[in-house]
Amino acid sequence: FGNLLKESGVTRRLANTASGPLIDTITILLGLTVGASTQASQFLTWNSILIFILGAMSFFLATGAGVVFVKFFNIFLKEGNKINPLIGNAGVSAVPDSARISQIVGLEYDPTNYLLMHAMGPNVAGVIGSAVAAGILLGFLM
């Protein structure tokens, strides 16, 4: 719906509202309604806390490992073909936030450094890899 408003060109203010404050308000209301309908005794268990901690640790590990892997890979590349290590942190499946972080950090060091589209490749590959890993894991469990 938002793309339709944006691309029509007729409703610029409505498109800006739908892509900004309206989506934020809807997200907050959705979180409130789901949170209000769930009891803490059912949701806040040791298993759910452990799952959250393991997910956060895997996110940190994947981000760090991506940067380290690119730095290691750059040792074997010629001087003109080296890869920016910020591309390595975009390999996690947090689309598009990890690619945007690569872009923001890259612009801090070099204002002419546009990494967003280059970072989206590993970002989407992370999504595909996560889906494949989940399918394999479900295959073992079922």
**pLDDT tens by residue, 33-68:** 988 888 878 878 899 899 999 999 988 998 899 999
* pLDDT of amino acid 2: 67
| Rounded Cα distance, 63 and 56, in Å | 11
**What is the CB neighbour count within 10 angstroms for residue 98?**
24
* Tokens coding 26: 């809807």
* Token pair 């739908």: residue: 18
CA torsion 88-94-99-100 (nearest 10°) is -140
* Cis before 96? omega within 30: yes
Confidence of residue 18 (pLDDT cuts 50, 70, 90): confident
**What percent of the chain has a predicted confidence (pLDDT) above 70?**
99
With DSSP H G I counted as helix, E B as strand and the rest as coil, what are the percentages for the chain, rounded to 5?
80, 0, 20
Task: Classify 84 as helix, strand or coil.
Answer: coil
| Rounded Cα distance, 114 and 70, in Å | 18
Select the more confidently predicted residue: 16 or 128.
Answer: 128
What letter represents residue 128's amino acid? I
